[in-house]
Amino acid sequence: MATGRTHRPATRSRGIPEATVARLPLYLRALTALSERSVPTVSSEELAAAAGVNSAKLRKDFSYLGSYGTRGVGYDVEYLVYQISRELGLTQDWPVAIVGIGNLGAALANYGGFASRGFRVAALIDADPAMAGTPVAGIAVQHTDDLDRIISDNGVSIGVITTPPGAAQQVCDRLVAAGVTSILNFAPTVLSVPDGVDVRKVDLSIELQILAFHEQRKAGEEAAADGRAGVDGDADTDAPPMRATPAGRKGPDGDMPAVMPA
Amino acid sequence: MATGRTHRPATRSRGIPEATVARLPLYLRALTALSERSVPTVSSEELAAAAGVNSAKLRKDFSYLGSYGTRGVGYDVEYLVYQISRELGLTQDWPVAIVGIGNLGAALANYGGFASRGFRVAALIDADPAMAGTPVAGIAVQHTDDLDRIISDNGVSIGVITTPPGAAQQVCDRLVAAGVTSILNFAPTVLSVPDGVDVRKVDLSIELQILAFHEQRKAGEEAAADGRAGVDGDADTDAPPMRATPAGRKGPDGDMPAVMPA
DNA sequence: ATGTCTTTGTGAACGCGTGCACAAAGATAG
DNA sequence: CTATCTTTGTGCACGCGTTCACAAAGACAT
């Protein structure tokens, strides 16, 4: 789900490809599971299967980190867990602030996957005065007015935005001004940030829309083509059927199906 | 943020590149905003800025859908909204079932971004008998035992999994058996599904880990390099400092920092 | 020590996605 | 009708990411 990084065209950080960085957490999860089962070593083949990727890709990914495997044997699980954790920066504690404590913000505050990976929810911030002091996931919600101080006092460098779209940019600006340099944005808004600030966007409805696209295609293919396992039905099943304005003039406003409520 | 599609290597559906499909919802959102402000037409430049992408990329994306613009003028907003909606399959109603009504499941059930884009939460399903009947977001939670019937009765083809990781694969199997062909997976598990079923994964903690990686790099670069705007600090600031096992033998189990709780 | 067998690490080819830069198309003015 | 100006649509080149396929490296047996 979610869309890739927003700014930062493809910085190829320290020689490690962005695509590889994005997969490291995947490997880490699989390795942690093996570690818990006290498995001492894994082959690239096994680990790749557990992580759901190609084994060649996994080996190449690891090769960017260094030569951590033993030929004929595989990778030492514990050692690899440590190396990847270090590479991802998970050997240190990251205080995180969540701004916008609605349903989603509360869910994230309660999400166990954060705490278990070096992330600590240091502060919950909301603009609603009525929420101030209310404990969510064991942490008292604080008011937006104190955002600056909260960020500074806790040394927060990673912020999570779960506000309504209208407030997102303003919150973002204030976070950045207070010293936050990495933002995870759940609001459906394109945030603009100064250079040096990383933004990653998670858009829940976009994921569903992508699924809907494929779903529709599957349904259409099924109806049109018979026989043969679907390769690439070339004949345009649903090519532009009708054109609102033959040669495009302004405001064709009556014959357009009201498709999108919002 | 979130990770891209899981299976389906890159099917290039109906000639529209995956990368383009993933951006269509972005354009759609920007266009909808323009539509609400009654803006009749936009240039690729303006729309690209609003969507946060390159204008050439946007034009190329639209070219896959057909020639919907007018040279010298731009794109008709309403018409484009309709075309993209149709292409994404949003002109029809998609009943969606959410399985696992914890914090996240409840947040999704309440999320407005779904209903406004053709997705209708048709059913909420949970394994806890105590939850059965409880209304969440105005919909009564139903028990997992009835999963099959619920999916069939409502014609659900898109399922959302927000269960704990241990239950995810089993729920997935049951959804697929009941006829679901698209799955949005929030559980941190690699799901295996038969061909023809699409899985998209959203992993909240992975996004944070990627941010942490860049955050760490920024901090390291700052400390090491001075002067010059950071291009690519080549000298390995934190290359393999110590190796647990010099030539890798089995189970080095004492000198490894306990980094990962779980 | 030598040979066999397993598994890594990587060179090389390929394909997709991106962005430049420009020609074609149409609007608009005179 | 002609000229000019704007903006699309796309040919092309480049770079990143993926995958294949294999040589090198080490484990293990004899």
Q: Which two tokens stand for residue A117?
A: 């990976």
Q: Count CB-CB contacts under 10 A for residue A90.
A: 25
Stronger pLDDT, A233 or B171, i.e. the higher one: B171
Question: CB B259 to CB A25 under 8 A?
Answer: no
Calculate mean pLDDT across residues B151-174. 98
In this structure, is residue B175 part of a structural domain?
yes
Residue ending a domain, choose from A53, A87, A121: A87
Tell me, yes or no, whether A64 lies in a domain: yes
Over residues A171-183, the mean pLDDT reads 98
Torsion angle of C-alpha atoms B154, B156, B161, B166, degrees rounded to 10: 80
Percent of chain A with pLDDT over 70: 79
| CATH code, domain with A30 | 1.10.10.10
Residue B7 scores a pLDDT above 80: no
DSSP letter assigned to residue B5: B
**Confidence bin at A69 (pLDDT 50/70/90):** very high
**pLDDT at A117 (0 to 100):** 83
Closest Cα partner for B37 from A210, B54, B46, A6? B46
Exposure on the CB side of residue A213, measured as CA atoms within 13 A = 28
Query: Is the domain of B79 the same as that of B147?
Result: no
Asked if A21 and A123 sit in the same domain, the reply is no
Interface of B with A in 194-253 (CB under 8 A): 196, 198, 200-218, 232-233, 236-240, 244-245, 247-248, 250-253
CA distance A82 to A95: 21
Per-residue pLDDT, averaged over A146-175, amounts to 98
Mark whether A187 and A115 lie in a shared domain: yes
Given B186, B205, B224, the domain boundary residue is: B205
User: Which pLDDT score is estimated for A225?
Assistant: 55
Distance between CA atoms of residues A28 and A199, nearest Å = 22
B50 and B107 part of one domain: no
- Same domain? For A46 and A120 the reply is no
B26 and B129, same domain (yes or no): no
Contact A201 B245 (CB under 8 A): no
Kindly state whether residues B123 and B187 are assigned to the same domain: yes
- Of the ranges A101-110, B115-124, B158-167, B252-261, which one carries the lowest mean pLDDT score? B252-261
Q: In what order do the strands lie in the sheet with A198-201?
A: A3-5, A198-201, A182-185, A158-161, A94-99, A119-126, A139-143, A135-136
In chain B, the number of structural domains is: 2
Helix, strand, coil percentages for chain A (3-state, nearest 5): 45, 15, 40
pLDDT value of residue B247: 34
In 10 A of CB B19, how many CB atoms?
12
Q: Across all residues in chain B, what is the average pLDDT? A: 84
Give dist(CA B167, CA A64) in Å, integer: 34
What is the predicted pLDDT for the residue at A169? 98
Residues in chain B: 262
Whether residue B61 sits in one domain with residue B146: no
Residue A49 lies in a domain: yes
Asked if residue A151 has pLDDT above 80, the reply is yes
- The answer to whether position B259 is within a domain reads no
B79 and B104 belong to one structural domain = no
- Asked whether the beta carbons of A242 and B68 are under 8 A apart, the reply is no
For an interface test with A, give the residue of B7, B192, B202, B211 to mutate (most A CBs within 10 A): B211
| A96 chain-B contacts, CB cut-off 8 A | 208
For B33, the domain range is 13-88
Sign of torsion over alpha carbons B248, B252, B256, B258: positive
CB of A123 closer than 8 Å to CB of A155: no
For residue B201, what are its two tokens? 């994964």
Residue B1 within a domain: no
A33 located within any domain: yes
B242 occurs within a structural domain: no
Q: How many CB atoms lie within 10 A of CB A245?
A: 14
CATH number of the domain encompassing residue A137: 3.40.50.720
Give yes or no for a contact between B155 and B130, defined as CB atoms under 8 angstroms apart.
no
E-assigned strands of B91-216?
A: 94-99, 119-126, 135-136, 139-143, 158-161, 182-185, 198-201
| Higher per-residue pLDDT: B133 or B113 | B133
- Please determine, for residue B232, whether its predicted confidence score (pLDDT) is greater than 60: no
Are B76 and B113 found together in one domain?
no
B55 backbone dihedrals φ, ψ, rounded to 5°:
-70, -35
| pLDDT tens profile B35-51 | 999 999 999 999 999 99
A116 and A178 share a domain? Answer: yes
Distance of CA B178 to the CA centre of its chain: 23
Question: Model confidence over A202-249: pLDDT tens digits?
Answer: 999 999 999 999 999 998 766 665 444 333 333 333 333 333 333 333
Q: How confident is the model at residue A134 (pLDDT cuts 50, 70, 90)?
A: very high
Positions of strand C less than 7 angstroms from a protein CB? 5-11, 16-21, 24-28
Lowest mean pLDDT across A65-74, A115-124, A241-250, B200-209: A241-250
In a domain, residue B220? The reply is: no
Q: Which residues in B209-221 are b (16+ Cβ under 10 Å) and which e? A: bbbbbbbbbbeeb
Last-in-domain residue among B205, B230, B247: B205
Same structural domain for residues A121 and A197? yes
Q: Report helix angle A204-224 to B77-88, nearest 10.
A: 70
User: Is B96 at the interface with chain A, CB within 8 A?
Assistant: yes
Instruction: Report whether A85 contacts B256 (CB < 8 A).
Output: no
Beta partners for residue A97, in sequence order? A123, A159
Give chain A's count of helices (H) and strands (E): 9, 11
Size of interface A-B (CB pairs under 8 A): 328
